[in-house]
Amino acid sequence: MNKDQIAIYINEHPEFFNEYPELLRKIKAIDESDLPIEPLNTLSIADRIIKRVHDDKAHLKNKLEWFVEVAEANEKIHEHLYEIERAILSTVHLDEMVEQLKVEITRRFEIIAVRIYLADGADHFMEYKLKESYPGGINGTLRFFDKNAAADLFNGELKPILHGEVKGDSKVFVEAEEKEAIKSEALIPIILGGEAVGVIGLGSARENHFYDGLRTDYLERMAEKIGIAMGNILLIDRLRRKQTVTDKQTGLYASSYLEPSLQREFEIATTQGKPLSCLKLHIDYFLSLLESFGEAEGEKILQDFAKILTEKCKSYGIVFRIDIGEFIVLLPGADAEAAQKFAETVRSALGPLRYPHLKGYEFPTISVGIATFPHSEMKAPNDLILLASKGLADALEEGGNRLILAATG
């Protein structure tokens, strides 16, 4: 057999390389520049096959590089979305959520305009009289439109609409300066109860920043989270009518707000694969202090401790007063190690506190139970509280002034 016959055989029987993989490695190792050129600058069949192997290898390399770039870009997008979701889901007022959403989106993506329209007359919003509460919308970002407008805009479908070329004909960005500046847009339905009750408009100054055929799953997810955030805010508003969301003595969130907050953070941690830590803190011997020195002195200690928790948490955690001398701190994104460090920071911050007139209680201390999701025993949000409570009980049983991390698993 000559080399062309051998080449044809190998081309028709690629399984040949299963028994002789070292031969395939040698072929791939041949430099393309070393290929012999036949008369008239043509390649022999054997050399063409070798060249094709090299072309395939180069194509595969380029494809792998492209996949890596796409994966890195997607990872970056998901990081941005996670932060946006965290920001909007941690707000308890609609105007705060709208403003936070606008700031985060324009800061993290090439977006120059954000617009939210809610359907005036949608049952979900009628119940809470949103338009009556915000008759002029919110800072130009949130506005209201007719109940049927959302359904008409999406032609009855609940999928984002992308316009690669907007030439002053947007149905969402209608101001004169917007018509001139916005060159492409994404319109994303806000879905509650299985129907479109609003639209989120994202406007870009670049043509085809959004275009038909672009992946929209991340846009849909963001809209879903915005719908959840609105639902949470409306729920909190209902709670606010029935009972206060904040504790009057400390200014921290009250226990009534713990359940919806925990539900929200647990859902985020579960879907995003992020850790969530819970700390249950107890001011040691607080009941005895109240009995000995009265509520006024106890309230002063509560307020001082609440200031420390607020300062240490800032935007990092969510703090609740749940009982006499007891508090819960939720730390989204914090693993067990980070939660322990946070607890030690709080304990250290108590050091400067002195109450010399409270004999026997001059130097306040705390006990802390810590639990972190994921954990083999956590199937529901309340399991996080139960494990943190167990850690606190163990800390108190050992004499207090310590922190105990529930066993991880």
Q: Give the per-residue SS3 of 346-365.
A: HHHHCCCCCCCCCCCCCCCC
Task: Check residues 42 and 50 and name the one with the higher pLDDT.
Answer: 50
* Same-domain pairing of 230 and 258: no
* Same-domain pairing of 258 and 331: yes
- Number of separate domains in the chain: 3
Residue 370 has pLDDT above 80, yes or no: yes
Least Cα distance to 346 among 324, 319, 373 occurs for 319
Domain end marker among 241, 262, 292 = 241
Domain end marker among 187, 207, 241 = 241
Domain end marker among 241, 266, 295 = 241
* Same-domain pairing of 109 and 203: yes
DSSP-assigned beta bridge partners for residue 162: 186
Lowest mean pLDDT among 13-27, 188-202, 369-383, 386-400: 13-27
* Same-domain pairing of 202 and 300: no
Residue 306 has pLDDT above 50, yes or no: yes
* Same-domain pairing of 200 and 267: no
Determine the pLDDT at residue 126. Answer: 45
Q: What are phi and psi of 104, to 5 degrees?
A: -70, -40
Q: What band does 305 get if pLDDT is binned at 50, 70 and 90?
A: very high
Q: Please state the rounded mean pLDDT for residues 79-97.
A: 75
Instruction: Report yes or no on 82 lying in a domain.
Output: no
* Same-domain pairing of 218 and 324: no
Strand 253-254 relative to strand 318-323, pairing = parallel
Least Cα distance to 169 among 157, 156, 180 occurs for 180
Residue 43 has pLDDT above 60, yes or no: no
Domain holding 140, by residue range, is 91-241
Determine the pLDDT at residue 41. Answer: 42
* Same-domain pairing of 95 and 63: no
For 3-15, how does the pLDDT look when each residue is reduced to its tens digit (9 = 90+)?
555 655 666 666 6
H/E segment holding residue 320: strand 318-323
Lowest mean pLDDT among 120-124, 253-257, 282-286, 325-329: 120-124
Radius of gyration of the CA atoms of the chain, in A: 31
Name the pTM for this structure.
Answer: 0.51
DSSP 174: -
Q: Is 409 exposed, middle or buried (0-12, 13-18, 19+ CB in 10 A)?
A: exposed
Instruction: Report yes or no on 206 lying in a domain.
Output: yes
Give the number of other Cβ atoms within 10 Å of residue 57's Cβ. Answer: 12
* Same-domain pairing of 101 and 207: yes
* Same-domain pairing of 141 and 193: yes
What sign does the dihedral 133-135-140-146 (CA atoms) show? positive
Give the Cα-Cα-Cα angle 294, 298, 302 (nearest 5 degrees).
165
Helix (H, G, I), strand (E, B) or coil at 127: coil
CATH label of the domain that carries residue 383: 3.30.70.270
* Same-domain pairing of 301 and 349: yes
